[in-house]
Structure 1
Amino acid sequence: MKYAVITIGREHGSGGRLLAQKIADALNIPLYDKKLIHMIASESGFSEKYVEQAETKHTSSFLYNLYFDSTNLPIDDQLFIAQSNVIKKAAAQSPCVIVGRCANYVLRKRTDCLNLFVYAPMEERIHRITEEYHEQVPNKDIHRYLEKYDKQRAAYYERFTGERWGDRHQYHLMINSTVGLDHIADHIMKLVKESDANA
């Protein structure tokens, strides 16, 4: 299989996680999203809640980064290293879909990765997080909430990769999810199967 691993970066509320599930189901391969959090927690010793929030709760505060242990690394660096190790192990085991966690960067030396970035208009994202994700955000703050969420995710990505989150040069495909998640999943599945046949 030419594209053994599919990584998906996404704007919050764009449907990237839902698309990942559809692709994994269609190709009958593992999905590493929530499962990845458990694996990283086991590898690092940090709590699952801490791991889950790392992508959007990253802080570069002076006091935060003064915390070191015997590795002489700040705890956010320790977590990223553990996370990278888990992602590499998962990708080495079998074809899979990996959501977020800078996976496209972590696996950048592999030639069998298809890296996607999913985005959507603000109105579509607001509808999805309220109607599908059922997130509890006051209506007047939803726009600000999404902007802050993406800003934190971008800061995390840029902190550990040195690259700009959402930059087209970091991905093979950038997809506006308003064309339909099922439609996108069908095309991705076709692309993967055709690449396998031509490999």
Structure 2
Amino acid sequence: MEKRIITISREFGSGGRFIGEETAKKLGITYYDKNIINEIAEKSGLSPEYVRESAELSPKKGLFAYAFAGRDITGKSIEDMVYEAQRKVILELADRESCVIIGRNADYILKDRDDVLNVFIHGDMPEKTQRIMDLYNVGEKEAVKMMADTDKRRMTNYNFYTDQKWGKASNYTLCLNSSQLGYNRCEKIIMECSCNP
């Protein structure tokens, strides 16, 4: 079956977002990343700023923050409401059109569909560090810290809401090392796998 939806999970600095955006352009399908934040905000009743900070990353305090988050009378925390709203938006997008969705646990949310290609992009430390230094105009030490913090928060959020392990190969159709393969080849492999049953 042709894969209509491509989800891309990625390590910070691996270029996963760029690869996803280019793949969507080349396939002529919609690219979803930060542009779904307003829809998630609308569904959750929370501000777009809050959603931008919380929809994919765990609270800065880590896993314990989920356990001790303030909960309403139904037992749901604000993080749970954001996740539920995000889940609804992603399911609606998948029903509506072919697309590339970056992060946001989309691989897990869409796991029951046959028309999804789940990709995990990772890379080698030196390349990722250099990319972050260039993109954010920071020194090496700061780049390494940003990488560790962001990946830890992505992992915590993913592990908490999916009962799966972030970055574990068996959760994805493809795991690609962008440092070894280069962005263009990653895009070609994803396109090939999405178009061929």
TM-score, structure 2 as length reference: 0.90
Q: Which ranges of 4 or more aligned residues in structure 1 deviate by more than 6 Å? A: none
Report what 2:120 is aligned to. 117
Is 1:22 aligned with 2:5? no
After TM superposition, the structure 1 stretch with the greater mean CA deviation from structure 2, 22-31 or 59-68, is: 59-68
Is 1:194 aligned with 2:196? yes
Report what 1:93 is aligned to. 96
Q: Deviations over 1:68-110 (max 9, x none)?
A: 2x65411111110110000000010011000000000000110
Aligned partners of 2:122 and 2:176 also within 8 Å: yes
Report what 1:168 is aligned to. 169
TM-score, structure 1 as length reference: 0.89
Q: Percent identity?
A: 35
Please state whether the residue corresponding to 2:113 is helix, strand or coil: coil
Is 1:45 aligned with 2:41? no
The Cα of 1:139 is off from its aligned counterpart by 3.4
Q: Report the Cα distance in structure 2 between the residues aligned to 1:52 and 1:90, rounded to whole angstroms.
A: 18
The CA RMSD measured in Å over matched residues stands at 1.8
After TM superposition, the structure 1 stretch with the greater mean CA deviation from structure 2, 11-20 or 45-54, is: 45-54
In the superposition, relative to structure 1, how do residues 31 and 63 fare at CA in structure 2: closer, same or farther (>3 Å)?
same
In the superposition, relative to structure 1, how do residues 12 and 194 fare at CA in structure 2: closer, same or farther (>3 Å)?
same
Please state whether the residue corresponding to 1:7 is helix, strand or coil: strand
Report what 1:81 is aligned to. 84
Amino acid at match of 1:158: N
Alignment counterpart, residue 70 of structure 2, candidates 63, 66, 88: 66
Amino acid at match of 1:36: I
The Cα of 1:62 is off from its aligned counterpart by 7.2
Aligned partners of 2:14 and 2:128 also within 8 Å: yes
Q: Report the Cα distance in structure 2 between the residues aligned to 1:90 and 1:39, rounded to whole angstroms.
A: 11
Q: Which 5+ residue runs of structure 1 have no aligned equivalent?
A: none
The Cα of 1:36 is off from its aligned counterpart by 1.5
The Cα of 1:127 is off from its aligned counterpart by 1.4
The Cα of 1:118 is off from its aligned counterpart by 0.2
The Cα of 1:130 is off from its aligned counterpart by 2.1
